[in-house]
Amino acid sequence: MDIKDYGKHLSSPFLKKALKIHSDARKFMGDFLKEGRDFIEIPPVIISGITDPLNHPTTKSQVEVYGYKYELTKSMIFHKQIALHTLDKIFAFSPNIRLEPEERKETGRHLIEFTQIDVEQKNATREEVMDLAEDLIIYTISKILEKDSDILDSFNRKLSVPKKPFKKITYTEALAKYGKDFETKLSKEAKEPFWLIDIHIMEREFYDREDPKRPGILRDMDLIYPEGFGEASSGGEREFELEQIYKRISKKGQTPEQFKWYIEFAKEYGLVPSAGFGIGIERFVRFVCGAKDVRDVTLFPKAPGEYFPI
Ligand code: AMP
Ligand code: MG
């Protein structure tokens, strides 16, 4: 985006209204978790010696400080697990840097800098956090409909409050019925958000817990928006046993050295069982506003493969 296009973007009434929705979405999500469910908001981590490896390739973004290398946060998954040593229910509005492949520029869903509300609860099951996420989405959409209906009307956006429980489809079922591109097809067909559950072990990172009763299947889930808006959230139960973690790291062709400080921490203090999820805020706002592209609802939109110096 050059400076002239950015000027047009900044002065568009659409952006101004979308930013109001963004601000309200953060408030309602935070209120729901803090006041409704006793979660504690923790500060985000920007640089660290450990970050999410992610299941897809991104360019490493690194800073060197005092001769030591830190990575910019791709997600706070490891920090959430560590924070559960002192708090039971946590969340952060976590800015993430993911230098996504260039071909993701026009997906309508990818930025290289975005924020997720990243939630984790000690000793929770997948089902418990799915229920929590449903309530969070329902509460936030209800409040936005209450407070910002004039904005949604001006966008001609018809949005309804989703009904609980959201439908579920397993990864195996989705793949068999719709082929590799199941997410896009299912999302286009759907009228309400739905869950994709039981994702296969090689499709996710080592920290999503393998179902002890069903080897190769994870105790995890994605939330998918309807109307073709695609993925809203990923989450699940976490691996907390060191032996399992070693096994999973090696299964992915990774080495424990890549996660040195996480492993050191786990060896010294152990990890606690937990489950959680992260919801991308910009994608949520895009869905609520019915926008074509996540860039259209973002104040400083940085798209994959693009130089945008502001
Ligand atoms: P993940 O755990 O990788 O699924 O990320 C959590 C959530 O963050 C996703 O479900 C999306 O809502 C959001 N997200 C992930 N990557 C991006 C991206 N490149 N741009 C915008 N939002 C993203
Ligand atoms: Mg995901």
Residue 231 CA to ligand 2 centre (angstroms) = 7
28-42 mean pLDDT: 98
**Mean local confidence (pLDDT), 20-45:** 98
Sequence-distant (6+) residues with CB within 8 A of 306 are 1, 105
Give the pLDDT of residue 280. 98
- Ligand 1 binding pocket mutation candidate from 61, 74, 103, 234 (most atoms within 8 A of CB): 234
Q: What is the mean pLDDT of the chain?
A: 97
Q: Which of 22, 96, 218 to mutate to test the pocket of ligand 1 (most atoms within 8 A of CB)?
A: 96
DSSP per-residue codes, 224-268: EETTTTEEEEEEEEB---HHHHHHHHHHTT--GGGGHHHHHHHHH
Nearest protein CA to atom 11 of ligand 1, as residue = 280
Assign 182 to helix, strand or coil: helix
User: How does pLDDT run across 266-291, given as a tens digit for each residue?
Assistant: 999 999 999 999 999 999 999 999 99
Cα–Cα–Cα angle for 20, 310, 43, rounded to 5 degrees: 60
pTM: 0.98
Tokens 């492949």 appear where? Answer: 101
What mean pLDDT comes out for the span 230-240? 98
Chain position carrying tokens 């923790």: 42
List the one residue out of 152, 160, 158 whose CA is nearest residue 17.
152
- Pick left, alpha or beta for residue 293 (phi over 0 → left; psi -120 to 50 → alpha; otherwise beta): beta
Binding site membership of 52 for ligand 1 (Cβ less than 6 Å):
no
Query: Does residue 1 register a pLDDT over 90?
Result: no
Q: Cα–Cα distance between 128 and 65 in angstroms, integer?
A: 40
232 CB under 6 A from ligand 1? Answer: yes
